[in-house]
Amino acid sequence: MSLFSPDYYYTDVLAVDLDRLTEDGVEALLVDLDNTLLPRDSEDVPDDLRAWATSVDEHGFRMCLISNNWHERVQGVADELGLPMVSKAVKPLPFAFRKGLGILDVSARQAAVVGDQLFTDIAGGNLIGARTVLVEPLSRTDLPHTLLLRRLEARIMAGREPVGEVTTSGSDRL
């Protein structure tokens, strides 16, 4: 398996097949924030995301936010969703992922990393030996270096289509 190859590919987190993850032995989710759960720089948690977080909990998963971001916004969203979090993650380095695993008290084999970037979320998840779930980014707004990496991601993912319908709203959705 390639470092940049996700195990699963979905349109967004709302389309992730939680039953399939359970069948594959996943008990916990390490989830990115920016452009995975919310569009970058957004603080408003929509009702459909709240419902998804409830569904994740009802499926028996534990969940932790893992974000390279360090602003108060990360803590605010984590608090609003009732989730533990690790900020300043420096993904794809394994340290924050391992910290999240410790918070959730699971091994990497029992976890899935969910995110919108191959070079941070998916690479980091693969480095620690977790399952990896790629979702399409929620927004075109991103940091300049991330926008450049998106071009490489498009080449790597060429020919692969995500599972699911676009279920989130937003005028700047990709």
38-94 pLDDT tens trace = 988 788 899 999 999 999 999 999 999 999 988 788 899 999 999 999 999 999 999
DSSP state of 132: E
What is the residue extent of each domain of the chain?
A: 8-156
Arch. (CATH architecture) of 8-156: 3-Layer(aba) Sandwich (3.40)
Per the document, the length of the chain is: 174
Q: What angle do CA 24, 103, 111 make, to 5 degrees?
A: 15
Does position 170 have pLDDT exceeding 70, yes or no? no
SS3 category, 84: coil
Rounded CA-CA distance 55/159 in Å is 31
Burial class of residue 60 (count of CB atoms within 10 Å of its CB; 0-12, 13-18, 19+):
exposed
